Amino acid sequence: MALLKSNKVIHCLGSISPSLGVLSTRNSSWWGGVQMGPPDPILGVSEAFKRDSNPKKMNLGVGAYRDDQGKPFVLSCVRKAEAIIAAKQLDKEYLAIGGLGEFTKSCAQLALGADNEVLKSGRNITVQTISGTGSLRIGANFLSRFHGGSRDVYLPKPSWGNHTPIFRDAGMQLKAYRYYDPATCGFDFKGALEDISKIPEQSVIMLHACAHNPTGVDPRPEQWKEISEIVKKKNLLVFFDMAYQGFASGDIDRDAWAVRYFIEQGHNILLSQSFAKNMGLYGERVGGFTVVCNDADEAKRVESQLKILIRPIYSNPPMNGARIASTILNTPDLRSLWLEEVHGMANRIIKMREQLVAGLKKEGSTHNWQHVIDQIGMFCFTGLKPEQVERLTKEFSVYMTKDGRISMAGVSSGNVGYLAHAIHAVTK
């Protein structure tokens, strides 16, 4: 009798459980409602490239340096620094939350200049970050929590694709100011000044220190001066992204000119740095985030809050890349070798720009390609239209993003002639 009663109870529960969602919960996935995300446009280019069997195929999408044989390049100064570090048989203990002290000091000196007043007065704080992306995200989180002004961040149009999700996911609002002029494939100086002059006070403005990504278009020094003046007049908070110091022109001081000028003019900037491109430390994830403050006391308070932000995200940064960068920057022979090598990388990119334009003229192109030479850094905004990019891919196996941006690092003396022929074919 007891067994019959228990069966009745079980039967009864079974009949009502669907209305309570018990069975449906057991039979469904926790993540059934997760939708497929859109593919990354650059990774999509690389995947299509890999599937292509054309021996002349070119991948101009990925932003990583290649030598003139199209191979990944490890700097000699990096190999030598690694040997020095290995010989010391150092431990693998955790770094401090703010990173390796020798690295953060050298990182700030590289960006601001060793004799900068900011460093001498101790009114900056620099923390080690997980490359440039991590630096930007720490900066975005800091703004989200402590910036008392507008939550609006104004990006140049266009800007690096990752800027938008980095700031958006930190709770900031994204807006834009004119920057690139498609008609000239150059800097829309007039449009930029007009838009910046209308930005509400205390907003955040993002500036690319050098080698603007994705266009390769940089303001000239006299234009930077006018931008600084109007930004100061509007009381905007400047956030510099400097991912290419040394890699753009081959001169670390020239590439840092805008950053140093803005500080000289009284801007207390935020600054992100990356050592991926200029030292080839892509996978080591080495970067820095700097806040320039009013005084040393304010810098200490900001440092304390940056540590509080970092701790629950990744606790402390990785040490190997920071040790490599620090060893290079603090060993005179290695630093000199690095400066030679980064100059060599930049010069190869500049040479490929010149050879591409020469090749287009040789092919008989009557278009003005001067912007290819005038632009600087790893990327070039060619001015190609989406339908021309599609033809390049289908007919010549030349892969790039649909906006016509090409990574000049993928161009070599062995394939620049083929690229010129292909571009001419789709633009004549």
pLDDT digits (tens, 9 = 90+) for 3-33: 444 444 444 444 444 444 444 555 688 999 9
- With 90 as the cut, is the pLDDT of residue 40 above it? no
- Out of 241, 255, 338, 369, the active site residue is 241
Strands 58-59 and 173-178: unpaired
Give the contacts of 270 (CB within 8 A, at least 6 positions apart). 139, 142, 143, 237, 238, 239, 240, 289, 290, 291, 292
Instruction: Reply yes or no on whether 233 is catalytic.
Output: no
Instruction: Reply yes or no on whether 67 is catalytic.
Output: no
Q: Which residues pair with 289 in a beta bridge?
A: 127, 272
pLDDT in tens, 276-298: 999 999 999 999 999 999 999 99
- Out of 188, 195, 277, 369, the active site residue is 277
Q: Quick check: helix, strand or coil at residue 98? A: coil
pLDDT given for residue 26 in this prediction: 56
Region at 280 (left for phi over 0; alpha for psi -120 to 50; beta for the rest): left
- Out of 57, 160, 218, 338, the active site residue is 160
- With 80 as the cut, is the pLDDT of residue 398 above it? yes
How many alpha carbons lie under 13 Å from residue 410 in its C-beta half-sphere? 21
pLDDT given for residue 62 in this prediction: 79
Instruction: Reply yes or no on whether 160 is catalytic.
Output: yes
Please calculate the CA angle 34-38-39 and round it to the nearest 5 degrees.
Answer: 125
pTM: 0.90
